Copies of this chain bind each other. A is one copy, B any other.
Amino acid sequence: MLFKVEMTVIPPAHLSEDEFNAIKLKEKNYAQELQKSGIWLHLWRVAGLYANVSIFEVKDNQHLHDVLMGLPLYPYMTISVTPLCQHPSSIK
């Protein structure tokens, strides 16, 4: 089951650059594990913004929730979730 998720990062003013870089490194590892396991299907940067457009393939809403709550950057992001399904004109 597919979801489009859009995330915008708002770097926290109260963290040092080192602390924030440590969180970003964890985020990168987490994102790459989920990509390898086929859950984080697509991950694109929005040109010019500290934001991404992502497609997740998950078992259900709960699965999506758990995956997103595990994002190390979650406390520093705004997130929007859009459930997707098969388009009748898609050839896939």
Contacts and interface: CB of A to CB of B under 8 A. Distances in A.
Interface of A: 1-5, 11-14, 27-28, 31-32, 35-36, 42-49, 52-53, 55, 60-62, 64-65, 68-69, 75, 79, 81-92
A69 to B, nearest CB: 8
A84 B7 CA distance: 13
A28 B85 contact: no
A89 B4 contact: no
Given A1-B61, A83-B47, A88 B28 contact: yes
When all copies of this chain in the complex are counted, the total is 10
Given A13-B14, A31-B89, A88-B28, A61 B49 contact: no
Contacts of A45: 65, 84-88
A3 B68 CA distance: 18
Contacts of A83: 3, 46-48, 61, 64, 81, 83
